[in-house]
Amino acid sequence: MRIVSGIQPTGNLHLGNYLGAIRNWVAMQEDAAATGGQCLYFLADLHAISMPHVPADLAANTREMVAALVACGIDPDRSVLFNQAQVPQHSEMQWLLNGTARMGWLNRMTQWKDKAGKNREGQSVALFTYPVLQAADVLIYQATHVPVGEDQKQHLELARDIAQKFNNDFCPEDAPLFTLPDPFIPPEAARIMSLRDGSSKMSKSDPSDMSRINMTDDADTIMQKIKKAKTDPEPLPGDKAGLEGRPEAANLVGIYAVMAGVSVDNVLAQFGGEGFGKFKPALGELLVEKLAPINTRFLELREDREALDAILRKGAEKARALAIPTLEKTYDALGLVRG
Ligand code: TYM
């Protein structure tokens, strides 16, 4: 098993990232240790320049995100932890795959449509070609599994399409170059929603900080955000079917279930019939209890800039060594002479 995944260092790690992706990164790191597999996790800083950004913030956020990932349980001695900018093979691979990706495929990406909105002409070329870099990120390591939240599924399907077309167009039938990666999407927390609007996902780019729980929020802030979370006036139902048509309630109950490691029906067996006045403080306390150790560790780690840079340097060195063989084969397959 070769497990590869990335996260953009564009702000704080939030509960959606943690429950949708990072928690599984950590679990897969443990599985890989037991089965002889390998995990590569990276900060997608090259992706982050597809949107307007402040360079000093990107640098600071990159280091903060390393501290956050290590605090969540990613062990840089067992997993390869790095940032894309120190592994230029990702960008080279993207260019090589640009010859295979089709405009029509990229035009269909919902993230492109959402982010560009009505102003497509005004967007950076990077925002449009972003999914090709994402394909390069996983194909260059021959990833077998990619743990992500639901919103990244379409990008991974595109990576598979690019791999398949490249294999068909440039490789002998019995010797395909690229492994087709499988997305690994946790069914229970694939899509954590905003605390202010049950129809949009929890996101770093939401202008309201009240819409998300950041992994760096202190206990008071977490309690406050949960208390203010949007809900409806009804008490909680006794079973899962009763959450239908109640997206805010479903989101909060879902978060409780995953954080407590129990099923949604279990949570409702406990809280069914109760109002949010009782449920919200219980959820807030559970979050505070589970996130406190991560928070403490994060605050310690973020102070040591040299240690964080050393983690990235070491990770990048390992990543480059793993990336080069497939990159060289890709140049060869395309007939590009390398001397
Ligand atoms: P990013 O930085 O937006 O998010 C990182 C991971 O968190 C998941 N996620 C969520 N899961 C559940 N509920 C939510 N509300 C939520 N918000 C975010 C995302 O699905 C993701 O798994 N393009 C990617 C980064 C990337 C990548 C890659 C991922 C670049 N190259 C290669 C995998 C493989 C992104 O912007 O994720």
HEC profile of 18-49: HHHHHHHHHHHHHHHHHHCCEEEEEECHHHHC
Which atom belonging to ligand 1 lies closest to the Cα atom of 47? 30
Question: 150: part of which helix (H) or strand (E)?
Answer: none
Check if the beta carbon of residue 1 is closer than 8 Å to that of residue 145. Answer: yes
204 an active-site residue?
Answer: yes
Report phi then psi at 42, rounded to 5.
Answer: -140, 160
Average pLDDT over residues 27-41: 94
Distance separating alpha carbons of residues 11 and 33, to the nearest angstrom: 30
In the chain, the largest separation of any two C-alpha atoms, in whole Å, equals 73
Give the residues across from 5 on adjacent strands: 41
**Distance (Å) from CA 92 to ligand 1 centroid:** 22
Most ligand 1 atoms within 8 A of CB, residue of 3, 4, 5, 7 to mutate: 7
**What percent of the chain shows pLDDT beyond 90?**
96
Q: Which CATH number fits domain 209-301: 2.130.10.10, 1.10.240.10, 3.20.20.70, 3.40.50.10490?
A: 1.10.240.10
- CA triple 198-204-209, angle to 5 deg: 70
Digit-coded pLDDT (tens) for 89-102: 999 999 999 999 99
AA identity, residue 139? L
For 89-115, letters b (16+ CB in 10 Å) and e give bbebbbebbeebbeeebeeebeebeeb
Which atom belonging to ligand 1 lies closest to the Cα atom of 189? 12
Digit-coded pLDDT (tens) for 173-205: 999 999 999 999 988 888 999 999 999 999 998
Most ligand 1 atoms within 8 A of CB, residue of 53, 82, 148, 258 to mutate: 148
Q: Which residue has the tokens 């879902």?
A: 254
290 an active-site residue?
Answer: no
Most ligand 1 atoms within 8 A of CB, residue of 112, 152, 188 to mutate: 152
Check if the beta carbon of residue 250 is closer than 8 Å to that of residue 276. Answer: no
280 an active-site residue?
Answer: no
CA-nearest of 132, 149, 148 to 140 is: 132
**Distance (Å) from CA 10 to ligand 1 centroid:** 11
Distance separating alpha carbons of residues 191 and 71, to the nearest angstrom: 22
- Walk across the sheet containing 182-184 and list its strands: 80-83, 38-43, 2-7, 145-147, 182-184
**Going by DSSP bridges, is the β-strand pair 2-7/38-43 parallel, antiparallel, or unpaired?**
parallel
Q: Is the distance from the beta carbon of residue 191 to the nearest atom of ligand 1 less than 6 Å?
A: yes
Q: Where along the chain do its domains lie?
A: 2-190+305-333, 209-301
Distance separating alpha carbons of residues 195 and 210, to the nearest angstrom: 7
Superfamily of domain 2-190+305-333: HUPs (3.40.50.620)
Digit-coded pLDDT (tens) for 291-331: 999 999 999 999 999 999 999 999 999 999 999 999 999 99
Digit-coded pLDDT (tens) for 219-271: 999 999 999 999 999 999 999 999 999 999 999 999 999 999 999 999 999 99
Cα 24 to the chain's mean position, in Å? 10
